[in-house]
Chain A
């Protein structure tokens, strides 16, 4: 009888212990996946300029015409592709002299998604391609997923916005590198409530 009870106890103990360990491991795995998707608040700060101040040359040369998009929003291959084609930069000449070109490249590549945080590239969903890189932030799988609930009439069909490239039309704090959902106001439609 005692022997039977002992076996039973050992079995129960074993099951409980492995469940606890199993749940623990599962918890860690899920946390990592969610972090990869950028679902943790702290990861939103990866775009911001904290510790990665917007370079004055970058702000002047690139930020004169459009928002100075954070370097961490594109992987290295994409920045190289963009910097190699400044003569025809989405239909415009954005040429800079050789020295400026080099300074911009150093800034962009050192802060690129691949370098900024080891997880950034993964949650951008961009393959680190050098041959055929994604050149538009708006074409990144991460970007598309984050904006899939926004109808086009709020953006491209909205004169006050124009296109998804105009981040700062809706993300009121974009200039600071803060793209948090909480700071979104869609012109003509109001505050975005996720």
Chain B
């Protein structure tokens, strides 16, 4: 048996760290994306607290004070409502809505679209990691 290289060892440890993190019932997609964002951002861990802070903060200085909760509310276990069309948005919390966070493609699509609306730009890998960590714990 060949000895593990340092890179491989780090990768294994990083996966183990994500899985063993308390409170996270991560789907495979979430785990995969967090690993991807971790590599992109060059950070070891993400912070659900920072994710929550970002969720509840209106980042754009000018404008209507929009933030994630404008449509999704601040309690992810409840149904939200699209600001403009009034269309109901199903709860985002995986604990009450098992359809959430299932596909990496879908997660990436909404992070892209909604970061642009909410913050006026795409989110950084760090921000996406923090947000996803927080959402996946709800």
A contact residues vs B (CB 8 Å cutoff)? 64-67, 90-97, 162, 165-166, 169
B82 touching A95, Cβ below 8 Å: no
A-B contact list, 16 entries, CB within 8 Å: A64-B89, A65-B87, A66-B87, A67-B85, A67-B87, A91-B84, A93-B112, A93-B114, A95-B112, A95-B113, A96-B109, A162-B84, A162-B85, A162-B86, A165-B85, A169-B86
Sort chain B's interface into a size bin: 10 to 19
Rounded to whole angstroms, the CA-CA distance of A65 and B112 in the bound complex is 15
Tell me, in angstroms, the Cα distance from A103 to B67 when the chains sit together: 31
Residues of B within 8 A of A (CB): 82, 84-87, 89, 105, 109, 112-114, 116-117
Instruction: Please give me the residue from chain A that is nearest to B83 by CB atom.
Output: A92
**Residues of chain A with a CB closer than 8 A to B117's CB:** 92-93
Nearest-CB residue, chain B, relative to A90: B84
CB pair B116–A65 under 8 Å, yes or no, is no
A94 and B112 CA atoms in complex are apart in Å by 9
Contacts of B116 in A (CB 8 A): 93
Minimum CB–CB distance from B117 to chain A (whole Å) comes to 5
Closest to B105 in A: A97
CA gap between A166 and B84 in the complex, in Å: 9
Q: Which residue of B lies closest to A66 (CB)?
A: B85
Q: Given the complex, which residues of A lie within 8 Å of B87, measured CB to CB?
A: 64-67
Please state if B86 and A92 are interface contacts (CB–CB under 8 Å): no
Nearest B residue (CB) for A168: B87
Docked Cα-Cα span, A168 to B54, in Å, equals 33
- Residue numbers in B under 8 Å from A166 (CB-CB): 85-86
How many whole Å from B15's CB to the nearest CB in chain A?
A: 27
A-B pairs, top 8 by smallest CB distance, nearest first, are: A93-B116, A66-B85, A93-B113, A92-B117, A162-B86, A65-B82, A66-B87, A65-B85
In whole angstroms, what is the CA distance A121 to B105 when docked?
Answer: 36
Give Cα distance in the complex from A166 to B87, angstroms. 9
Which residues of chain A have C-beta atoms less than 8 A from B105's C-beta?
Answer: 97
In the bound complex, CA of A156 to CA of B116 (Å): 27
How close is A135's CB to chain B, nearest CB, in angstroms?
15
CA distance A49 to B109 in the complex (A): 27
Distance in angstroms between the alpha carbons of A166 and B82 in the assembled complex: 12
Q: Which residues on B sit within 8 Å (CB–CB) of A91?
A: 84
B49 smallest CB distance to A (angstroms): 27
Identity of the chain B residue whose Cβ is nearest the Cβ of A89 in the assembled complex: B113
Given contacts A67-B87, A93-B113, 16 further A-B contacts (CB under 8 A): A64-B87, A64-B89, A65-B85, A65-B87, A66-B85, A67-B85, A90-B84, A91-B84, A92-B113, A93-B112, A93-B114, A93-B116, A95-B112, A95-B113, A96-B109, A166-B85
Question: Once bound together, how far apart are the Cα atoms of A67 and B84, in whole Å?
Answer: 12
Q: How far is the CB of A94 from chain B (nearest CB, A)?
A: 7
Residues of chain B contacted by A66 (CB below 8 angstroms): 82, 85, 87
Contact of B113 among A67, A94, A165, A169 (CB under 8 A): A94
